[in-house]
């Protein structure tokens, strides 16, 4: 309160020359006499306001600090300081605090007494508009919640030599013609930024400081510049403009890169097509003895042309057999193209490995088989399949020996691919019962399918073991294959395992018994019909009984006449020839 009384006393002494006679005086809340008939012209007020030069000089003699403005750019703050010093002859300080450049009078007293914020109006041209302060606040040390607002300051009478603003100026200007804005129109509490280093500027920043500020976003950084757009200064617009310019530049660069890459790909495609035609003619001439080995030496000296030559040789080798194929393989080896294929097969990139495997398989080169065996259990399904196909093509006798090394799941697509490979290349069919004891369930299922496909009935003894496989999918497929192959020796095994199986396996057992009808299973099937509640199982059991011929039909007629359980609907349904 002592500081507030000191400020009010100073203002009162400055207004002592005003005439108060001839009218009644009232007293405001701070006991300062106010004549209601006299037009008050304040020396301190809320922004925008008028401030006399003499009043500012008078206030500068007080025991308190005065803040004249705060800017985000050093140049704007320096311009305001020079203008005020030129008009008043006072010495002003420039302080960097909280990311702003603040102009102070008596800056050394900020930590000892109250700190006032006084906006200043200049009649000069409008360059940047200041941010209006709703209240001019005075912070008192030790009392952070005590504020001297504009309501108190408006009660002080005006001084002489008031600088009047230009008629067309709506808001106070914070600086002479230079780019900048008085951005922080609030008072600062003296202890608010004790952890930050305060720098008093008396010179322009050096080149190094300007370069550093570009990245630190402080001082004279161009990213902090504010410009007038349609009468308003918005820093966000600067960021948006920069973002748009950067986006356009990026788009143009990408467009240029895409066009250049497309042009390059078109040139390569044309060159490749031309080379393929030329190399095909050379290869055919070589195979028929019209040209020699020397015509390929120039081609083999260039990496790109070597790859095109390899691709063309593979295409030609598909339709070659016997001596012509061997001659082409010798040419492939003599040119050192096999080393290129081996290098790709041993590459760490899976797509290069696949290309290398294909080249080695088509040209019949077995030096890369060890790498193919390592890739059999790769996590990459495509790489596994290509390794399997290559090993099948490169094997002389046992084309499916790799199945004994396969630990990864053998997908249905891979199984179909290998089956097609056997048919297309007329490969010798191995005895697939050797893999019925494999630890990989998918390999066992592949062997079961191949046994059925190639009618290998000699595998019937091993089939009895597979019926009891721990994997229900394998067991169900074995039951299905046994029924399709009419392996009647497996009926007793199916009968014993029925009660331990899941529903789908039980249904497949009854169906398989219907595929290979045997009167010895009549009692078992009648028991299924009587004990099972599932309609589908009952229907399949009745169909299996009917497949036994006359004996089965008589048994069904007898069951239909029985009144113990109503089987009439199911039996009639099965015996109706319009349905089955």
pLDDT digits (tens, 9 = 90+) for 31-88: 333 343 433 333 333 334 456 777 778 877 877 788 888 888 888 888 888 888 888 8
What are the residues whose beta carbons fall under 8 Å from the beta carbon of 402, sequence distance 6 or more? 373, 376, 387, 388, 391, 392
Do 136 and 117 contact (CB within 8 A), yes or no? yes
Same structural domain, 88 and 186: yes
Assigned domain for 19 exists: yes
Residue 511: the pLDDT is: 95
Assigned domain for 370 exists: no
Average pLDDT over residues 195-202: 43
Reported as a pLDDT band with limits 50, 70 and 90, residue 573 is confident
Burial class, 531, CB count within 10 angstroms (exposed 0-12 / middle 13-18 / buried 19+):
exposed
Domain holding 558, by residue range, is 519-580
Same structural domain, 446 and 568: no
Burial class, 126, CB count within 10 angstroms (exposed 0-12 / middle 13-18 / buried 19+):
middle
What mean pLDDT value characterizes the chain? 76
Residue 260: the pLDDT is: 96
Same structural domain, 478 and 559: no
Cα(495)–Cα(523) distance, rounded to whole angstroms?
11
How, if at all, do strands 228-229 and 115-117 pair?
unpaired
Same structural domain, 462 and 450: yes
Same structural domain, 68 and 139: yes
Same structural domain, 452 and 531: no
Assigned domain for 469 exists: yes
Assigned domain for 487 exists: yes
Give the end of a domain, one of 471, 494, 516: 516
Q: Indicate whether 484 pLDDT > 90.
A: yes
Average pLDDT over residues 307-316: 90
Residue 458: the pLDDT is: 93
More reliable by pLDDT, 54 or 218: 54
Name the helix (H) or strand (E) containing 342: helix 337-345
Of the listed ranges 247-251, 319-323, 410-414, the least confidently predicted one is: 319-323
Name the helix (H) or strand (E) containing 473: helix 472-484
Same structural domain, 528 and 510: no
- Here the CATH number for the domain that contains residue 456 is 1.25.10
Assigned domain for 345 exists: no
Cα angle 200-203-208, degrees, rounded to a multiple of 5: 100
pTM greater than 0.85: no
More reliable by pLDDT, 574 or 158: 574
Check residue 40 and give left, alpha or beta (phi > 0: left; psi -120 to 50: alpha).
beta
Give the end of a domain, one of 163, 197, 231: 197
Q: Indicate whether 562 pLDDT > 50.
A: yes
Assigned domain for 482 exists: yes
User: Strand pairing partners for 67?
Assistant: 104, 117
DSSP 253-281: HHHHHHHHHHHHHHHHHHHHHHHHHHHHH
Q: Indicate whether 92 pLDDT > 50.
A: yes
Helix (H, G, I), strand (E, B) or coil at 302: coil
- Please name which of 129, 104, 109, 120 lies closest in space to residue 45, comparing C-alpha atoms: 120
Q: Indicate whether 29 pLDDT > 70.
A: no
Assigned domain for 235 exists: no
Assigned domain for 181 exists: yes
Residue 424: the pLDDT is: 87
Of the listed ranges 9-18, 258-267, 281-290, the least confidently predicted one is: 9-18
Cα(559)–Cα(546) distance, rounded to whole angstroms?
12
Residue 44: the pLDDT is: 38
Residue 403: the pLDDT is: 92
Residue 194: the pLDDT is: 42
Q: Indicate whether 136 pLDDT > 50.
A: no
Do 430 and 399 contact (CB within 8 A), yes or no? yes
Residue 42: the pLDDT is: 33
Looking at the structure of the chain, the number of domains it has is 3
Same structural domain, 468 and 571: no
Same structural domain, 73 and 185: yes
More reliable by pLDDT, 170 or 560: 560
- Please name which of 307, 61, 67 lies closest in space to residue 183, comparing C-alpha atoms: 67
Reported as a pLDDT band with limits 50, 70 and 90, residue 472 is very high
Instruction: Report percent pLDDT > 90 for the chain.
Output: 35
Same structural domain, 511 and 543: no
Same structural domain, 164 and 55: yes
Same structural domain, 46 and 59: yes
Q: Indicate whether 24 pLDDT > 80.
A: no
Give the end of a domain, one of 516, 539, 567: 516
Q: Indicate whether 131 pLDDT > 70.
A: no
């Amino acid at each position: 309160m002592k500081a507030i009384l000191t400020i009010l006393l100073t203002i009162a002494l400055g207004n002592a020359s005003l005439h108060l006679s001839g009218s009644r005086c009232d007293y405001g809340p701070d006991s300062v006499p106010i004549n209601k008939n006299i037009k008050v012209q304040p020396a301190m007020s809320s922004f925008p306001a008028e401030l006399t030069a003499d009043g500012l000089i008078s206030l500068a003699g007080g025991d308190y600090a005065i803040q004249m403005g705060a800017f985000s750019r050093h140049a704007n703050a320096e311009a305001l300081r020079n203008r005020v010093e030129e008009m008043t002859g006072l010495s002003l300080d420039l302080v960097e605090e909280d990311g702003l450049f603040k102009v102070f009078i008596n800056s050394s007293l900020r930590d000892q007494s109250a700190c006032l914020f006084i906006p200043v109006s200049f009649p000069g041209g409008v360059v940047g508009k200041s941010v209006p302060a709703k209240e001019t606040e005075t912070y008192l040390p030790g009392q952070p919640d005590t504020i001297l607002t504009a309501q108190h300051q408006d009660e002080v009478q005006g001084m002489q030599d008031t600088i009047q603003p230009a008629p067309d100026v709506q808001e106070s200007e914070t600086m002479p013609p230079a780019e900048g804005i008085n951005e922080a129109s609030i008072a600062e509490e003296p202890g608010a930024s004790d952890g930050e280093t305060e720098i008093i500027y008396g010179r322009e920043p050096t080149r190094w400081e300007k370069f550093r500020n570009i990245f630190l976003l402080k001082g004279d950084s161009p990213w902090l510049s504010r410009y007038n757009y349609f009468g308003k200064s918005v820093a966000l617009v600067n960021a948006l403009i920069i973002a748009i310019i950067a986006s356009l530049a990026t788009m143009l660069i990408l467009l240029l890169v895409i066009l250049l890459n497309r042009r390059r790909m078109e040139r390569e495609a044309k060159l490749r097509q031309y080379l393929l035609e030329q190399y095909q003619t050379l290869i055919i001439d070589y195979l028929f003895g019209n040209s020699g080995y020397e015509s390929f030496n120039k081609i083999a000296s260039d990496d790109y042309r070597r790859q095109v030559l390899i691709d063309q040789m593979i295409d030609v080798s598909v339709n070659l057999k016997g001596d012509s194929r061997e001659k082409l393989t010798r040419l492939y080896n003599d040119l050192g193209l096999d080393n290129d294929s081996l290098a790709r097969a041993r590459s760490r990139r899976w797509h290069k490995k696949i290309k290398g495997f294909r080249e080695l398989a088509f040209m019949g080169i077995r030096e890369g088989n060890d790498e193919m065996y390592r890739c059999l259990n790769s996590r990459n399904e495509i790489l596994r399949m290509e390794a399997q196909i290559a090993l099948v093509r490169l094997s002389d006798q046992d084309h499916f020996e790799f199945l004994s090394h396969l630990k990864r799941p053998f997908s249905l697509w891979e199984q179909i691919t290998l089956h097609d490979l056997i048919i297309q290349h007329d490969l010798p069919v191995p005895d697939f019962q050797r893999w019925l004891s494999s630890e990989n369930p998918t390999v066992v299922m592949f062997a079961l399918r191949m046994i059925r496909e190639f009618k290998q009935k000699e595998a019937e003894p091993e089939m009895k073991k597979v019926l009891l496989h721990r994997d229900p999918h394998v067991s169900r497929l074995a039951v299905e294959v046994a029924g399709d192959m009419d392996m009647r020796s497996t009926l007793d095994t199916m009968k014993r395992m029925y009660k331990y199986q899941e529903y789908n396996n039980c249904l497949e057992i009854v169906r398989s018994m219907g595929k290979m009808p045997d009167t010895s299973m009549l009692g078992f099937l009648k028991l299924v019909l009587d004990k099972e509640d599932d309609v589908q199982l009952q229907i399949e059991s009745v169909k299996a009984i009917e497949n036994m011929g006359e004996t089965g039909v008589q048994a069904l007629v007898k069951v239909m006449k029985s009144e113990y359980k109503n089987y009439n609907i199911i039996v009639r349904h099965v015996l109706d020839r319009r349905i089955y």
